[in-house]
Amino acid sequence: MTEITLSAEQTAAVRAAEGPALILAGAGSGKTRVITERVAYLVSALGADPREILAVTFTNKAADEMRRRIEERIGGHARQAWVMTFHALCVRILRRHPEDAGLARAFVIWDQDECLNLVKRSITSMGLQDKLYAPRRVLSLLSMQKNGRAWSEADVRDYRLEVLNELAGRYGAGLRAANAVDFDDLLAFTARLLEESDVLDRDAGLVFRYILVDEYQDTNRLQYRIVRALASVHKNITVVGDEDQSIYSWRGADIRNILEFERDFPGAAILRLEENYRSTQAILDAASGLVARNESRIGKTLRAMRAGGQRVENLVARDEYEEALRVATDIQRNGEGRRVACLYRMNAQSRALEEALAGARVRYQVVGAVGFYARREVRDIVSYLRLALNPDDDSALRRVINVPPRGVGEQSLAIISSTAQQQGLSLWGGLLEVLKGSMLPSRTRGSLARFVSLVEELGAAREIHGPGELVGIVVQTTGYEDLIDQEPSPIREDRLQNLKELRAAATDYEEREGLGLREFLDRTFLLGDADSIRDDAPVLLMTLHAAKGLEFDTVFLVGMEEGLIPHMRAVQDPGQMEEERRLCYVGMTRAKSRLILTRARERSYFGDRRATLPSRFLSEIPPECFDGAASTTPPARRPASPTGATGATEAAAKSSPRAKFRPGQTVIHERFGHGTVLRVEGGGEDAKLTVSFPGRGATRLLARFAGLRPA
């Protein structure tokens, strides 16, 4: 057995006496090592049979890693231990006792798609419209019910309680008729089996002498009931977790499980892992000072095992473009050879960062989500914009001819494609030809005729409206927002936010640079195409939720503003506000050496530019943790635009807030040349200018970003 060096704290946790034990493992304290070493200790020192040990975690990756480490410590017989996810544990238990659980021996497990189809059939059988009762959202609500989570007032108001109950009944009956269970059933059936039957008296193989649970703060009530029942015989249960990192209530995690552990398991030992091997003391002091404001916590004091380190930096920018530019410039100067992360609250925030990093020629990767312009909903709307510009764009037409669904299947598309090929036409030309004949059913022809009218209307609209307005028109006229409404929260919210961010991007391009639809589409293509060539990216972009469990040399926590961090949903809910504070704490403790908190004085929301308020969390961090006054000095060096044209961030950097313009004045624009100011709205850096350029006519620009200078 390989010797492993442990600290005094870790050794105490590994060798904890029998009985219940709660190990409060602070960020970066080596909790995975403690779990594996405890299993090794139980087998090698206490003589436990591996078959009597159950170690439960949340992901297959974590379970595989735990099994590997345990095998390295005690050898091949470690494979006899039950090291698995909660769902894998439930499957194994239910397969041993299906009849006791009320299941047939040959029950099957249905995946998400199969369950969704059953929900759709249930909705149809009740004579309901899936536009009003979105199947994905209904399935999400049924999942909440099975996991013991109450429906919100909004859910009940939108869908009516009696209808939801009827759908739940039909969905359950459909599963029973198919001898099937869903993922939630695996937990629910197992909990009832262990609590209400005598299987633990009859099956010695389920009577574990030692039980260990990782990430206990992330367990829901069903998982809690399962481990409580399994631990009821020997009561040797060790749970490892951190109440300050409980950030998944939206998917069912219940912080009460860890906060009330002592009450649920009387006589429990409480051990703390407070030695942090990741971050500097300055970072830990800042993060700990913030999360100490929460009432729902047990408490711990983290101590850095690393010497030195600088205090937390505070960066304040004019807007999200300067914020992104400043981040990119800092990475250029200081990030080489370092592992860097840009963390944000919502995926839509990645857009400005992606553009700034691309302009700076900094390789990056978006983690947990695809790049902004590669996201499904963004690509769908962009495809409609491409058709408005050029109906003969075969790729765009293929993508959206049945999005949202309009009854155009592969067979219909094959007929259109064949006609186009035979006559040497584009797909659009083939579609027009097919509509002249009767090769397709009348219902399909009607749908396609409406699609043709829609594309023609969009083509006409682009002659009148700019790119920003056109995005809104596409979303509204296609019914795309109704399609997204079918998604469960928070997926629905995220996708809607991405559409609003797309409209904001198009509006910003139009006003800052005078870009029309064609130039805007070129820009989206170039940025999206650049994503595919970044291998081994030194800079990672991700949400705060996705960053949990990771660590980086440098962390930029972007958007420290009210409404973002904390999220606007938490303002009226003290419990949600505490979770937002924990989420911020998680983000801060990902940093090893440098932590930079950034915010913008104004930011675009849904196409409208608004002044922002600093996040309340900034004032809750002890002031001595910061390195002095907030950094507001503009960057000395600007990255080049990948397109060769004046990029968004570059234009922001070279703006002249002191410049004053008046009607009749001759000015020079870097791309459009000489022009005459026709109109000035507002003053200072917020002034909106209407400028006439030869060959372009009147063009609206924002003074701040236009890069205009007097002739």
Q: How far, in Å, CA of 417 to CA of 434, rounded?
A: 10
Q: Which helix (H) or strand (E) holds 272?
A: strand 269-273
Q: What are phi and psi of 541, to 5 degrees?
A: -110, 130
HEC string for 620-653 = HCCHHHECCCCECCCCCCCCCCCCCCCCHHHHHH
- Classify residue 233 by its DSSP letter: T
Strand duo 21-25 + 539-543: pairing: unpaired
Q: Amino acid identity of 351?
A: R
**Residue 460: Cβ within 10 Å count:** 11
* Contact partners, residue 557, CB within 8 Å, separation at least 6: 343, 344, 544, 565, 584, 587, 588, 595, 596, 597, 598
Output the six-digit token pair for 575.
């419990």
Candidate list 10, 245, 419, 699, residue with the active-site label: 245
332 is known as an active-site residue: no
Q: How far, in Å, CA of 556 to CA of 338, rounded?
A: 13
CB 345 within 8 A of CB 567: yes
Q: How far, in Å, CA of 677 to CA of 692, rounded?
A: 6
Query: Could you give the dihedral angle defined by the CA atoms of residues 508, 511, 513 and 518, in that order, rounded to the nearest 10 degrees?
Result: 80
CB 691 within 8 A of CB 675: yes
Q: Which of 26, 89, 25, 34 minimizes the C-alpha distance to 57?
A: 89
Q: What sign does the CA torsion over 282, 283, 284, 289 have?
A: positive
Output the six-digit token pair for 357.
């990093």
CB 248 within 8 A of CB 560: no
Q: Which helix (H) or strand (E) holds 237?
A: strand 237-241
Q: What are phi and psi of 552, to 5 degrees?
A: -145, 150
Q: How far, in Å, CA of 29 to CA of 283, rounded?
A: 15
Candidate list 37, 215, 494, 561, residue with the active-site label: 215
Q: How far, in Å, CA of 581 to CA of 221, rounded?
A: 23
CB 141 within 8 A of CB 156: no
Q: What sign does the CA torsion over 149, 150, 154, 155 have?
A: positive
Q: How far, in Å, CA of 189 to CA of 96, rounded?
A: 13
Q: How far, in Å, CA of 668 to CA of 293, rounded?
A: 53
245 is known as an active-site residue: yes
131 is known as an active-site residue: no
**Residue 429: Cβ within 10 Å count:** 16
Output the six-digit token pair for 251.
């998917």
For tokens 């764009």, what's the residue? 393
Q: How far, in Å, CA of 298 to CA of 23, rounded?
A: 11
CA 385 to centroid of chain Cα atoms: 26
Q: How far, in Å, CA of 711 to CA of 706, rounded?
A: 14
> Over the range 13-49, which residues count as b (16 or more CB within 10 Å of their CB) and which as e?
bbebeeebbbbbbbbbbbbbbbbbbbbbbbbeeeebe
- Classify residue 338 by its DSSP letter: S
Q: How far, in Å, CA of 393 to CA of 184, rounded?
A: 44
CA 93 to centroid of chain Cα atoms: 33
Candidate list 37, 182, 185, 214, residue with the active-site label: 214
215 is known as an active-site residue: yes
Greatest extent of the chain over all pairs of C-alpha atoms, in Å: 93
Candidate list 31, 69, 225, 638, residue with the active-site label: 31
111 is known as an active-site residue: no
Three-class DSSP category at 239:
strand
Candidate list 590, 592, 603, 704, residue with the active-site label: 590
Candidate list 32, 85, 145, 365, residue with the active-site label: 32
Q: How far, in Å, CA of 237 to CA of 20, rounded?
A: 5
Active-site annotation, residues: 31-32, 214-215, 245, 590
